[in-house]
Every structure is written in C-alpha cells, then in structure tokens.
Structure 1
C-alpha cells in the first residue's frame, strides 16, 4: 500500500469547513475497511501529494465518503456521524451548523441512481465497487486552517487511476466543467509519475472491459469533442492539452456494437 504526505493550507472559511469535515469522516471510517474518500476533494489531495506544475487548483466545499452497501446498511457510519454532531439531510447527506458537510455514496454496477438501504436513501455511483475492492493510497494530511489551527490526520483515497475512472463515469453522467478539471489534473499526475508510484495504471491497455472500458470510451469520446465541448470551454482546461493527455495515457476503447 502506498503512503504519501499531503501538506497544504486552507484559504477560506469554506475550505476550513471542508477540511474539518474530511477529518471527521476520516475518524468515522478509520476502522472501516470498505470506505474511501472520493470526489473533487480527493483529486485536490492527490495533486497535493503528487505535485503537477500544470494542474489547475480547484476547491470543493464538502467531503464525499464511499462505503460498501453492507457498511451503509449496517448504520455504523450513520451513528458515527450523528454522534459527532452531524444531522442527516435527505438520506445520504450529513451537515453541521458551522458549514461542514459529508455525502455518503455506495456502489452501483451500471448507472447513477438512488437506492434505499435499511430505510435511508443513498446515491449509488458506478466505479465505486472497483475502488473499494482495491488497496487505497493513504495520505497523511497536514493542513493549516485560516485561524492557524494545524490539523494532522490520515485518509484513505483511491489510486490515481481509480479516481480517474470514477471521474470519467461522472463526466458521462453530468459533463460538468469541474469534473473536466479533475480529469485533467489526474491525467497530469499520471503523465509525470511512474505507475508503481501511483498504485498501478492499467487504463492505458487497449480495449479494457468493465469500469475501465467504460471510462476509456468516455475519455476518448471527450477527446474527440473537446474543441466543441461547452463544458471544456467554460473550464480552465486547454482542449489540446486534454486531448494529448488522453491519447498518451488512456488506451483505445472497444468498439461497441450499435443498438438496434
């Protein structure tokens, strides 16, 4: 298992809340094997742990935790978060009055959807099963908040490849500019570092199946339309750089048969 330091600073009160929420969910999931921190905050932490000069800094206001359906159904994380002062909102979102927020996600085999487990609703996300089955990267966070408070704690995050797969499948669902920035940043890391340093890199192998194959298809479709994609134009990502990174680091997808 890979372990890396991630030393950073908070730049706003929203940042402070996001890092405090990250610390809370890291504590709540410390002894839960089937749990990872995911989402935009994870990409930012990976960029901190694996510096890339051309990465585009992006902030996010909440923490996303992925857990297995078994953990979600058990209520263990629910009770840990409510015991830490969080209030459940609309099933899988937990909030504190000071702005801290945590979203709890579970795996889906095919598409983004809403599921109910033991009376609570959760957002089910494709790609999470692959992430939870693999060894994480452990990041030793050292963050200084805006009031000079220093926080040190460890978080379990996906490998860079698995984070890219999850982001690619998210792009297929919503095609938001922030997700394209995250894809760009993860590919920048992959371009600069050896695969073994990142926990492995197999998405460059052509015609993969499963979540990797789905991600390959999404990313190469993105490369083919980057110059005309409004979300790319609204982001800070240069289309020609995104295309070059995808072609360099992502294998060609399988040709999918047309539906009749």
Structure 2
C-alpha cells in the first residue's frame, strides 16, 4: 500500500463572474493529482476572490462575487469559497494567500503534512517572467520561488501560453509543478465574454451554473443599464458593481499583477 498524501487546491482571482471554466479547472487539477503514481487525495478546492477595493477594473461587489461562487459550488462536495482575502481590506500577495490557506487547512484537517497547490492557467505562469514598463519585475523572485517549490502548481495549458517552458526557464525545482490540458472540454468561456454578453442583453446560460445566472439576473449585475464612470457622471453604486479603486503609479504594479491572477480567464487564455 502506498503512502497517503492529502492536498487542498486554491484558485485566486476576481471570479467576475465565476464560469464553468473555473470549476472545470479545479476538477482537472484534482483528477490529475489523484491519478499520480503516488497520488494525492484532494480534500478541498478553495476559491479565494480578490477584494474589489484594490483592483484597477470595476468588479461586482465582494458580497455578490462570494454569493455567486457559493451558487457555483453548491452542488459540489469538495469545492467551496472562502472570503478571507476580501475581508482583509488590503492587497494580498498570492504567496500570502497560499500560506494562510495551507495553515488553516492543516489545522482543519489535523494533518501537518497536508499540501496546498495553486491552480491556475498557463498565462499566469507565463507572467512570472513579465517585466513592467519601467523594467521592474511583475512578480517578486522570492514569491515565485516559494509558489513553485514550496507550494506547487497545477497549471492548465491555454492557447498562446507555454507554461512548461516558462517553468523550466526559472531555474527552480519543478517537482511540485504539473502542467495539464483539458482534452475533453477545451472551451473558450471567460468572465470577460460573459460580462460583454450580459451588457448586450444576451444569454449566458450554460456558460456558468444556473444558480449564478439566476443571481446575476436577480441583482442586475453587469447589465447594460450600469453606465461607466466618466468625470463623476453615471456613477455606479457599490451594490451594482463594487468599489473600483482609482489607479495611481504606486499601485500600478500590484493591479497589473492581479490582472493575471484574477480568475478571469478561460481554457484558451482569454482574459
């Protein structure tokens, strides 16, 4: 009998709104880890939505995105949403989110050896090497090293990304990194496309769970009647679309980073 290993999966992002692709990504990651020669038993899949206060683009309010994730995962016996990141009131680095959930899960499951893997798309991994316009790095080297070597990643291949090459070029051990593809359902649904469809009054049913669709319609999220803010005209309320923080030079780097970490991506890499 082999040694039993247990793990939790963590997906960070905006989930604005959550889609079937987000759920599918978790399912693929669990399937892969549980099919390894020395398999993991995945005990939880956690969605951690980012706080709307510290993101450069308009988001549905935190309570709405949490509620939609609850609707999306309500039929799952192992996936759930956690609001820790949204309640902090400040920018939280991915490494810090991983550390929090690893410690919490080890206590919750009484397992000091429990692992925590980041589940993400290939475009996020490719961003590990991205440089900002001023020449500085988007990701801190120590954060990338910790995520890759200490925690581990299950990354889903996406069109236009090459996560395997990126990971190999980092110079870190990739023993805890797994790159997989969705052969059964390589669809292109994304949060961006869903928002665009909703703003145009088109149906998004079967792109996200029915409970999410019903919630969006009930609360009139992302609808065309919500106008963008232009010099204070057409100002949106927090209940409609969340608090959209203004972009300043001091926050540009972290907001750009979250544009890759926002869960707002699909199987083919569309942001």
The reply to whether TM is greater than 0.5 is no
- Larger RCO: 1 or 2 (CA < 8 Å, sep 6+): 2
Question: Normalized against structure 1, the TM-score is what?
Answer: 0.28
User: Which structure has the highest strand share of the two?
Assistant: 1
User: Which structure has the highest helix share of the two?
Assistant: 1
